[in-house]
Structure 1
Amino acid sequence: MENLRKELEEIRREYRQLITYLRLVNKMRERVTTALELQEVLDEICQSLVDYFGAAFARIWLYNRESNELRLVSSRGIYTRTDGSRSVIKLGTFKKGKLQRIALEKVPHYSNSIQDDRDSPIRDPEWARRNGLVSFAGYPLVLRDELVGVMVFFSRNRLSETILEVMSLYASLATLAIRDAQLITEQKELALTDPLTKLKNRRYLGMYLEETLKVSRRYGDSLTVAMVDIDHFKKINDTYGHPVGDEVLASLAEILRSSVRESDLVVRYGGEEFTLVLQRTNRERAKNVLERIREDIAGRVFDTQAGKLSLTVSIGYTTCDCNGEKVRMTRFLRVADAALYRAKEGGRNRVEFLPLETDIDGEIHRSEEETPHLRP
């Protein structure tokens, strides 16, 4: 009878503990699902493990299908770095550690004696001992049998079966939250990306240029904006058809992207027109870069389904030496476009510069129908 009473008491204790944990999971879910940005969601997932379940530290790796690797994207608790030697874990290597097995086998792993566990994801047992770490649990984040990532946490206490089961539930909720945030991020990215060239689009340019101007003013950096237009592009479309025109646009986009630095921006502004934003670039340096691009394009032969084609581009640009001077984004674009018009009027296949203070209305006389982006 006494044994039965003790057993019932233990069941009740575990039941109360389970209810407590489930309430905590619900609180964690509320915190995670109110976050909107992907990084915010990832950090909330890890921080909730620290705040509600006493994890010494928690981490998340996301799976990258293209490179077949896990990338550390969030770490909270006593260890917050995400750029260490274990920040990228290849899954295709012959030697497989615990994190790799969690990802490949898609099953949880845990240990209540990580200081003595040779297979522990912590390489330095002494560091684990100094920080009082006792246990580890790792969960694959899987949705419809597809790997999303891996969530792990380390604790100074032993992990009961109840905690492990509750954490399995939390891992499922975390997976849904992460995937939802990823989809939102992807949708935002699509809205700001040109589907043909995979370059950023005009909408993104507006946001980017506003922020870049602020930074350039703050540090007194030079900033150049250039408009690039394919000469006689309508003739290409009319002669060979729009599919060939699309091939030319995609090829030119790749040339422009590879011709500037990673810190610069290439945008498909619309039609056959592209915009370059060159950071920390003064007038002379911009002239050299843009002339090199123009010459490169003029000397190329473009392979298309209609055969080999040659083409040229006209480029107009303006530069701001942003020494505290406040310049409107629209002014930048209007002057660069006016410089492009001058290049077209001057015979095409050339680079033209106009100072930012140019009287645009006196410089060009195109109708609003021809240049809707020049409207005040």
Structure 2
Amino acid sequence: MSFSQDFCSLGDTLDLRDELRGIRHCLHRHPEIAFREVKTADLVAQSLESWGYAVTRGLGGTGMVGTLKAGAGSRAVAIRADMDALAIDEETGRAYASVEPGMMHACGHDGHTAMLLGAARQLARTRCFEGTVHLVFQPAEEIGTDSGAKRMIEDGLFDRFPCDAIFGLHNHPGCPAGTFMFRGGPFMAACDTVELTVRGRGGHAARPHLTVDPIVVGAALVGALQTVVSRSVDPMQAAVVTVGAFNAGRAANVIPEEARLKVSVRSFDADVRKLIERRIRALAKAYADAHDASIDVDLLPGYPVLVNTECETQLAMQVARELVGDANVIDGFGPIAGSEDFAYYLQERPGCFLRLGNGEGAAALHNASYDFNDDNLTVGAAYWTRLVERFLATRS
């Protein structure tokens, strides 16, 4: 098999640098949080329409799809960028820092959106592919549950915009800018939250024998929860159980009526995910019975495990090697204990989610000092363009 056209290279998008930087800085200055991405969606839609895309808005709330067809090819590919910001006060000191109190792009979704718009621009002006490309601009990735991806699928994303595969990426502080990272199979963790309410019998601190102390029960349960992974999960499987909040009482001389714990659970396997839930419920019952207390267990399901399909991962990785060279591509990266709602798309269609280095000294994601690396804008635009061209290549 040979390909009849040349594919996008890094130099082909360099003339878009200033335009993409301007878009990214505008988005950064005016961040919008989950399901409120109205102005962001307006900017994206106006840009796509001006370049000849058919734009469909209102999917999953403020989400949209820009569609472009070229040639007579019957295949279709989707590329996704997330648009939402976080509820964080910015501390970067940048000239384009957020002007919206309590909101900032602390995860780089402004950069993800700008990179995909760069690819949209390049694809529209070259049309070097045969088939259909759907550019998916998604709201509310950060919300943690009932997210933008889930809602867009429920709104008929793949029925209305059928595709043979879907791809997405996230920037990755700590790795050099322009470095691409891949992993086939389970790549990012499922994330669930468990809320435990320990109900005892309050009373005077000097008369503990007349009470059922929920703090003692909760403290014992915190210790027991540390055995869920270490003694119940196969050592060859990765999982995390973290108690992130323990709230009880207000005074030193009062034993309260109840204590509340919040637990974050991360896993990379569906069976392990179920096992951890069972163990938490069993431990809660056992410790409640042992102390004559009661414990309510509320499970708040989060995103599923993100599982990349092998064929699409190999293609995505090959495109990166062609674009930036073997030295700037990492195979077998991760797995990553963070979660990502792109996992919902991969439950419906084959695809690959990858990482792009944001700089070795870059601030961490979800940090008030974080900023997306503008050096990635034309790199990401060229990558998405080349991936679409390779996926929808004319074959001879």
TM-score, length-normalised on structure 2? 0.20
Q: Under a length normalisation based on structure 1, what TM-score does the superposition of the two structures give?
A: 0.21
Question: Which of structures 1 and 2 has the larger relative contact order (alpha carbons within 8 angstroms, sep 6+)?
Answer: 2
Q: Looking at CA atoms only, which structure, 1 or 2, has the larger radius of gyration?
A: 1
Specify which structure has the higher proportion of helix.
Answer: 1
